[in-house]
Amino acid sequence: MNLLVNQLLCWQSDNEADTQIDRILWIDFSGTDVVTIDIYDPYAQPILQKHEHMMAAIAANRASILQEDPYAKIIRSYVELKEE
């Protein structure tokens, strides 16, 4: 499995309120370093993480890749809206 820029990782926690969702902002050319940011923290700063650490967390079910982005919006053209 490959990590991709803009993918979302949900970090599991025993307390559901502590669950964190990070967006992948950047992956270095060698694929060893990944920069992420917490999408729900308004004061979040980018964090440099190791690709290996993230893949191990996914394999151990401590993190999972989200299929749906809570900030994604469907953009429709004026013509499509007018046809309705």
Q: What is the pLDDT of residue 26?
A: 98
Q: 21-24: long-range contacts at Cβ-Cβ below 8 A with a sequence spacing of 24 or more?
A: 21/66, 21/70, 22/47
Residue 55's pLDDT is: 96
Is the confidence at residue 17, as pLDDT, over 80?
Answer: no
Between CA 83 and CA 35 the distance in angstroms is 42
At 70, the pLDDT band (50, 70, 90 cuts) reads: confident
- pTM for the model: 0.80
- Residue-level pLDDT at 73: 77
> Would you say residue 27 has pLDDT above 90?
yes
CA–CA distance, 7 with 35 (Å, rounded to integer): 11
